[in-house]
Structure 1
Amino acid sequence: MPFPILQIPFDVRSEIISLLRPNEIVTASFSSKNFKRLIKKQYQRPSKLKFDVHIGYKGLIGNCQGIVLSAEHISELSEKAHEIICTNGYKRGFSSKFPVLYFENRVMGTKMIIDYVTDLFGTCIDELYVDRNGIWAIDWINSRQSKPLACLFLVKADNGDPIADEEAEYVLRYSKIGELLDIRVKVSENFRLTGKLGPFHHLSISEGQWINCDNLMNVDATVFAVHNSRLTDSELNAFLRHWRSGGSPRLEVLDMNFEREVLVPAWFDPELEIVETDEVRRYRYRDGSEMEIQGGFSIQRMDGVNATIVCDLGQFCMVVWHSDGH
């Protein structure tokens, strides 16, 4: 027997809606136009819900509580597995937990479900996960909301191919990301990038074989993480000389690991005046999490700012202690 939610008092109705999970709210919103209007009214005040979008192998909208809506190509449709409803421009079915919309045009479908969910909850998109097939969505999402994307994750495509050089350059140079740009996909062996990169708050490169000394010196970031680096001893010494003379002034954390296994302290240039330290200090990230630094090596910039370097076999981490206590 259907529950007459539209007929109960407003306060009780609002309490019932507040108890629903986001995927349940989205599913219920398809039941009637009146109930959809009711939900939108409930969420007219600023929403605390944070949504992320996954585009590539799936067109999914989700948040910390799971997927709320999915857009798939019509070729994925199995009418035996779903009770299909034909709607303007797409067909609608349901999985066990959320609606599934089927489109001939996946881009159009992805745009439609982003519009639908953000309009329903009165919120914006915080995080975007894309492979090379979803790069188009970066500018589109940023252009439709006043608050830029907080985080962008560029992930591997299903076939595992590296992204094209122009795609990598576009993401690194032109994506406007408020907090974190995380690139988890390989680029071609010949990829080169010159000039300034940033500003970023946190830049993470998982396949950092292409990062050279000029890139390291020209990244304008607070936190820079590079994995699978091929930088040489002489290049890292050159970067430290660059930093000591006032370069990379915003840098607070440089976290690197290398393809090769080398004992990093062995190659410090004497002119850098790096000394061992037994200090124990804590670095506090913007999100409130902390990293404890125990011992290592101390290096001082010409203006008096100190940094601690901790390193091990194939590992290098440099933390800069600015005057604000970080």
Structure 2
Amino acid sequence: MDKYQQAAASLNTITDYIRFAASEFERTGLYYGHGTDNAWDESVALVLQMLELPSDYPVVMFEARLIDEEKQHLLSAIRTRIEERKPLAYITNKGYFAGIEFFVDERVLVPRSPIAELVENQFNPWLISDEPRILDLCCGSGCIGIACAAYLPDSEVIVSDISVEALQVAEINIDQAGFYPRVQAVQSDLFSSMRDMKFDLIVSNPPYVDAEDLAEMPAEFFHEPEIGLGSGDDGLDLTRKILQQAAEFLTEHGVLIVEVGNSWPALQEAYPEVPFSWLEFERGGDGVFLLTKQQLEQHFS
């Protein structure tokens, strides 16, 4: 009888399973970076999500006893998290962005961008149109674009990605949100399918991990599609193309917002003359820049 079978025989309540999972996660040295940052929060999230319970489930109810089927369900998830180093979002098929739940699987990255804070603030003060047209470029699960539609109810949004598999997930999320046709998915290699479209906001969380960081990532990240992570030796191959092309697809007062994460020093070094506005976040995060259409035309035309 292994430890998981022994656990099923001795653990009975929600609290028991949270405590057991947290201890095992700590003991086995998991990496946290897909929604939580410590073993306890990860274990709470796993148990509640696997039981289809809300994140604000009353603590007083944590003493509820579980039936055998629920116990086996939880132990299987705990085992998978530890032995396969699979991110929690891929076990539960639930990702969260700007307070909204999204379907995710291994066709897309797990949502975790600080851009969520900009969405929640409706991109104030940079987005001035009352009925903005928005492009979520390199959209993956579509979480940024769909969240834009939720927080800006008069907007029209295109979510775009080169990956057909990623767009399949994005379309699931568009349907789940009930936003079609106000949000539409378009398969495109960056702007190649945009034709004569103009946008008030282009927002992108493209691949930006440099080759060195990609090789040294914890095991959890290797469950994510590499096409969504790496972008050349310095992590900026796609960002350079976006900078060269974006102005053509912005309205007169349009803005470009792009996350480049830890590659921001390399970007600043590559373009020292460009007046990047590096955005700040109350909840933490960095490496997100903003440029206007005029700035793009001046430096990249």
Higher share in strand? 1
Higher share in helix? 2
Instruction: Please say whether Structure 1 and Structure 2 have the same fold, judged by a TM-score greater than 0.5.
Output: no
TM-score (norm 1): 0.28
Structure number with greater CO (CA < 8 Å, separation at least 6) is 2
TM-score (norm 2): 0.30
